[in-house]
Structure 1
C-alpha cells in the first residue's frame, strides 16, 4: 500500500483505508450494496432471496448498520402488513465504483495460477 493510505506507525483504524473497511467490511455488506445499486429499491425479503444464504437476523443487523453509517435509506410505509423499502443514499452510491473495480479485479485474476502470479 502507498504510504499515504496506511502510513507507517499509524493504526489502521485511524486511516481512510481503515474507515472504509469498517463501513463495508463483513460478509454481506458489499453484497447488499451491490444488489441495491442494481435494483435501486428493494424490500427485506427481496434482498434475502437475492443474497441467498443469509439469515433474517443477520440481514436485519447488516441493514441497520448500513443505515446508521449513512449508506442506505430505510423507508417505512404506515400500512398493514408493514412495508419497508431500502435504497442507496448518495453517500452509498459513491462506493459503487469501488465495488465495480473489485469485481473487475476478481474477474481478471480469479483464473490465474500461482505460476502466473509469480511471473
Structure 2
C-alpha cells in the first residue's frame, strides 16, 4: 500500500559538494528534489506499477520511507501501526468496502486521505 500511496510524495536534499549526477554537474549547495511517489511507480523496478498486488515479490523495494542514510527512523513503528490498525479494522468490519473516491489533504508534500467513503455490509 505504501508504494502506491506514499505519505511523503517527495524529498529535498542539498548537494554538500560539487559532484556528477546522471551525467550532469551538480554544484555544491544545489537543491535536489527526489520524487518518491514517481520512483515507486518505476516500470523498470515494478512490473505493472499501477496495479495493487499483495503478492508482489519485490513489494518491499519501494522507497516510501526513503533509503540509505535518510531511511525513516520510524519506519518499523509505522509498519507495525499499519498492521495493527488494518487488522483491527477488517476484523471488526470484514465486509467493509470503498464506495467512492478519496478526498486528500491539501498538501504538496504529505499525501493522506481526508475523507474516504465506505460502507459496512
TM-score range (shorter-chain normalised) is under 0.3
Normalized per residue, the structure richer in helix is 1
Normalized per residue, the structure richer in strand is 2
TM-score by length of 2: 0.26
TM-score by length of 1: 0.27
